[in-house]
Copies of this chain bind each other. A is one copy, B any other.
Amino acid sequence: MKAAIVAVGSELLGSERLDTNSLRLTTLLDRHGVELRRKAVIGDSVEELAAEVRAQAERVELVLVTGGLGPTADDVTREAVARALGLELVFHPDVVEEIERRFASFGRRMPEVNRRQGYLLAGAERIANGRGTAPGQIVEVGGCTLFLFPGVPNELEGMILSHLEPWLAARSGGEARESVVLKIACVPESEVEERIGPAYEEFGRETITILAKPGEIRLVATAQGREGERRERLEAMRARLAELAGEAVFATGEEETLEGVVGELLRRAGATLTAAESCTGGLLSQRITAIPGSSDYFLGGAVTYSNDLKTRLVGVPPELLAAHGAVSEPVARAMASGVRDALGSDYGVSITGVAGPGGGSAEKPVGTVHIALAGPRAEGSDDVEHRKVRFPGDRERIRWQSAQLALEMLRRRLLKTAGAASEGSGS
């Protein structure tokens, strides 16, 4: 099946806004194996929209129109589609009564102008709108089915779930495409590709996509078919990729974040964390505390931007700063154990580096970052991990990747500790 999407609204032709509804529709079409032939954005013009709808109705089997169903004069979708398909517009008093009731429920009277929303295309099925006034419509003409949706995203979403998705599912006879996502932090794309190589051969290269951004990679595995076999295949792919990529995988699912996963591990371990940040200036703490309930494990942190504060807040010896400079392994280590001890947490993490654009030198070029992680203080020894890296990119990207690596070091450490603990309890 071939499809076309038409977004209606002059505001979508300006320089401030893009049509993003089509991304949601595309995901759905893709899932049901429908080929999207084109997308168009049309202003509030009856002629222009009618021409587009007429052209597409002759070329594809499914046309999805979003927007232009409101009550005002610049809402032209009803009229344009009627003209394009040579259909009458029929007034439905019951639709208007429903809109009147909706207004009444907010204690308001329906403005006269909303009567326009009572007109449906002759022969159209009405799609009830639980979230707004504009009803949607479904109409079939020749070999083409047209869906008219409101442009407001959450009203559109309601109608997608209630009507479009079931319609597509019925047409595709249960056949669909579906994906799982595995997320990996701080491993180079080439290394991920090498590790998962066997899965390409087992499942087909085209079924697995690697999407990379600085410090984070998403593996997207896609399966097609009827529900049972599709789910089974998806689970097999997920399991195999997880096996090949090993503990580099921090999440299975689009919604999970690295800071969320680290938080959950801390919570399970009953452990607390503090952070000492220099070049990231609070970004790491901000990400950790973006997770609701993070006060259960995150006590707080120190943004030690100046050398003086590195000494005052987390006890870095001035001699160490004088001897090695703020961006150095000894200072990073001292910051990590220092913040842990000064603020009284189980774990302490630190970041110090040159985020640029200024401040770089031949010895410590822009992008040089030292990260250290101090674990719970043990009798007689202190276990502080350290990594030195050089990140590419601008200030924002360097800071982001620094926070990302600090979180990933924490995650690996907490996993290891959890593993050791469960082995210990099993023996």
Write the residues of chain A forming the contact surface with B, with a CB cutoff of 8 angstroms: 12-16, 18-20, 22-24, 26-27, 30, 36-43, 45, 48, 51-52, 55, 211, 275, 277, 279-286, 288-290, 292-295, 298-306, 308-309, 312-313, 342-344, 356-358, 395-396, 399
Contacts and interface: CB of A to CB of B under 8 A. Distances in A.
A343 to B, nearest CB: 6
Contact of A298 (B18, B301, B305): B305
Task: Report, nearest first, the 3 A-B pairs whose CB atoms are least far apart.
Answer: A281-B289, A282-B282, A282-B285
B30 A14 contact: yes
Given A39-B40, A286-B280, A312-B343, A23 B13 contact: no
A157 to B, nearest CB: 15
Contact of A37 (B27, B48, B357): B48
Contacts of A23: 15, 18
B303 A302 contact: yes
| Copies of this chain assembled into the complex | 2
A45 B37 CA distance: 9
A348 to B, nearest CB: 13
Given A38-B52, A395-B290, A303 B303 contact: yes
Given A13-B26, A40-B40, A308-B344, A289 B299 contact: no
A160 to B, nearest CB: 13
Contacts of A38: 13, 40-43, 48, 52
Contacts of A357: 292
28 contacts: A13-B37, A13-B38, A13-B39, A15-B27, A15-B30, A18-B22, A38-B40, A40-B40, A51-B55, A280-B286, A280-B289, A281-B285, A281-B288, A281-B290, A282-B301, A283-B286, A285-B286, A285-B303, A289-B303, A289-B305, A292-B356, A292-B358, A292-B395, A295-B305, A300-B302, A300-B303, A300-B304, A313-B313
Interface of A is mostly: mixed
A342 B309 CA distance: 10
Nearest to A298: B305
A13 B36 contact: yes
**Which of A27, A282, A288, A289 has the largest number of chain B CB atoms within 10 A?**
A282
A288 B280 CA distance: 11
A148 to B, nearest CB: 18
B41 A39 contact: yes
A55 B51 CA distance: 10
Contacts of A26: 13-15
B294 A299 contact: no
Nearest to A357: B292
A73 to B, nearest CB: 17
Given A15-B27, A281-B290, A289-B305, 20 more contacts: A18-B19, A36-B43, A37-B45, A38-B41, A55-B55, A281-B294, A282-B282, A282-B289, A290-B395, A290-B396, A294-B305, A295-B306, A299-B305, A299-B309, A300-B303, A303-B303, A308-B344, A312-B342, A312-B343, A313-B343
Nearest to A292: B357
Contacts of A284: 282
Nearest to A284: B282
Nearest to A359: B295
